[in-house]
């Protein structure tokens, strides 16, 4: 036996522990409830300890967004397995997207409905976002042949904006505000996805 049991609660380096605690807070209560001091309290550490690792609150936030983007991209990529054709794979992607948005609304909001910290671009978040987007472009390429990447990207942008719009409406209370019943809402979602398929199929070879 080594001396593991001697140290109290090392387990994780504090930096990593901060990120995880922050994700917990956001998952539970949302971004606006996130405070560095609260994170510190949860980890039984002084209110300045997290500051040593992330000089600014925003820099912790960037790290959290990065994690979210990656786990989101993983969920999307996993949706492809065991599908028969490109059509089903495409549909599965859309459903995985919506599922994620509904299952983790606060993370989804953080990634796509919240202004990113100013230094997000320098921090390389763009690449993680692009990785998620490219899952979509790849499936589109399997679906129909494109003469150029630009043409494919236009289709991708259409699909993405439609699904994203749907997701963001779903995870807000907009449906309730417009007094849609649950059944109506579900039907509307299915219909919207059909419409996307229809539009994509329009000029398919």
Buried b (16+ CB within 10 A) or exposed e, 102-138: eebbbbbbbbbeeebbeebeebebeebbebbbebbbb
Q: Which residues contact 156 (CB under 8 A, 6 or more apart)?
A: 133, 136, 137, 140
CA torsion sign for 164, 166, 169, 172 is: negative
Q: Please return the burial class of 177, using the count of CB atoms within 10 Å of its CB with bins 0-12, 13-18 and 19+.
A: exposed
State yes or no: residue 133 binds DNA (CB under 7 A).
no
Partner interacting with residue 83 (select from DNA, a second copy, none; CB below 5-8 Å by kind): none
Partner interacting with residue 70 (select from a second copy, DNA, none; CB below 5-8 Å by kind): none
Determine which residue in the list 54, 100, 108, 112 makes contact with a second copy, applying CB under 8 A: 112
Toward a second copy, which CB reaches closer, 5 or 179?
179
Determine which residue in the list 48, 127, 181, 186 makes contact with DNA, applying CB under 7 A: 48
Give least dist CB 199 to DNA, A.
44
Best CA proximity match to 199, nearest among 174, 170, 164, 163: 163
Give least dist CB 133 to a second copy, A.
6
Q: Which residues bind a second copy (CB under 8 A)?
A: 30, 109, 112-116, 120-121, 125-126, 129-130, 133, 150, 153-155, 157-158, 160-166, 168-169, 172-174, 176-180, 184, 187-188, 191-192, 195-196, 198-200, 202
């Amino acid at each position: 036996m080594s001396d593991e049991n001697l140290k109290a609660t090392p387990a994780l380096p504090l930096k990593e522990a901060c990120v995880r605690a922050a994700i917990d807070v956001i998952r539970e209560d949302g971004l606006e409830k996130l405070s560095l001091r609260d994170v510190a309290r949860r980890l039984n550490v002084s209110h300045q300890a997290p500051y040593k690792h992330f000089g600014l609150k925003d820099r912790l936030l960037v790290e959290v967004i990065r994690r979210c983007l990656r786990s989101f991209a993983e969920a999307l990529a996993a949706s492809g397995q065991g599908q028969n054709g490109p059509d089903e794979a495409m549909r599965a992607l859309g459903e995985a997207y919506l599922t994620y948005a509904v299952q983790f609304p606060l993370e989804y909001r953080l990634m796509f409905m919240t202004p990113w910290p100013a230094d997000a671009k320098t921090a390389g978040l763009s690449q993680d976002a692009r990785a998620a987007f490219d899952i979509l472009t790849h499936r589109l390429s399997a679906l129909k042949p494109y003469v150029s990447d630009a043409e494919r990207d236009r289709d991708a942008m259409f699909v993405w904006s439609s699904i994203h719009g749907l997701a963001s409406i779903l995870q807000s209370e907009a449906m309730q505000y417009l007094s849609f019943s649950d059944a109506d809402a579900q039907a509307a979602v299915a219909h919207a996805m059909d419409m996307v398929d229809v539009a994509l199929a329009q000029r398919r070879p």
